[in-house]
Amino acid sequence: MNILIVEDDNIQKQNFIKMMQGIKENLTIYEAEDKADALKLSNENSIDIFYIDIFLKNSSGLDLAIDLRKIDKYEFSWIIFLTTHAEYITQAFKEVHCYDYILKPYDKDKLLAISNRIILHSCSKTIIERKYAIFDLKEGIFIKIYVDEIIFIEVNSRTCTIHTKNGIYEIKGISLKRALELINNTAILQSHKSFAVNINFITKIVKLNIKSYELFFEDYEKKALLSYKCKSLIIEKFKTKNPTYRI
């Protein structure tokens, strides 16, 4: 799940992230300090839960939430406000239909209780709505591959090899670009002219030389390549998922 914390106090924000690491689900935590950054991240990614400080730099959290509600995919998304002033919450419930609020300083038990409740509800829906792509394995044979099972994709001489948790599939005559179009998921990112990877399975990034890196994956021996051109995006996503990691 993707979470966005919008908080202009860096100490409070890092404290929040540290507490959220107590959740045993696979979470990607995005960070923003103001309305503009938050809207940019929300448009570029698919956010499942918003945690928004009522008071932000150059704007208010309420204004941000109102703008988020105008975006179709966030019309009914989970919004939780962070505040030191509970008197503003009535307005938040009326204008934004937020789910709940958390008073500062953060109460870890309440934060985890609210978050786990939402995640449990959302994951129960995800089981029904798992995304997949259909590939033409060979003439007359089609295969359904669930996106959350893809570890990485490698293309060599027009043969697309899809490495998954349940096996390896070779599909002839398909480019990496076409494979990514069929999958159409923000977790699967191109890392090299011949590779695309599932950011959720990366466990380690090792520099090979000035132009390339090697990607290691959870419970999987085979490795993928990361080029200098794709380095910034992949490392940024990886570090967001692993806040204590340093290249």
All domains of the chain, ordered by start, with CATH?
2-128 (3.40.50.2300), 132-241 (2.40.50.1020)
Contacts of 46 (CB under 8 A, 6+ apart): 2, 73, 186
Under 8 Å between Cβ of 5 and 16 = yes
pLDDT in tens, 64-87: 999 998 888 888 889 998 887 766
Task: Look at 190 and 99; give whichever has higher pLDDT.
Answer: 190
Lowest mean per-residue pLDDT among 75-79, 200-204, 243-247: 243-247
Lowest mean per-residue pLDDT among 35-44, 85-94, 98-107, 118-127: 118-127
Residue 81: predicted pLDDT: 87
SS3 164: strand
Task: Look at 244 and 143; give whichever has higher pLDDT.
Answer: 143
Q: Residue 245 pLDDT more than 50?
A: no
Kindly report whether the peptide bond that precedes residue 243 is cis, defined as omega within 30 degrees of 0.
Answer: no
Question: What is the C-alpha to C-alpha distance for residues 80 and 10, in angstroms, rounded to an integer?
Answer: 18
| Mean local confidence (pLDDT), 224-246 | 80
Residue 97: predicted pLDDT: 77
pLDDT in tens, 46-64: 999 999 998 887 788 888 9
CA torsion through residues 178, 181, 185, 187, sign: positive
Residue 105: predicted pLDDT: 82
Question: What is the C-alpha to C-alpha distance for residues 3 and 25, in angstroms, rounded to an integer?
Answer: 12
Is residue 117 left, alpha or beta, with left meaning phi > 0 and alpha meaning psi from -120 to 50? alpha
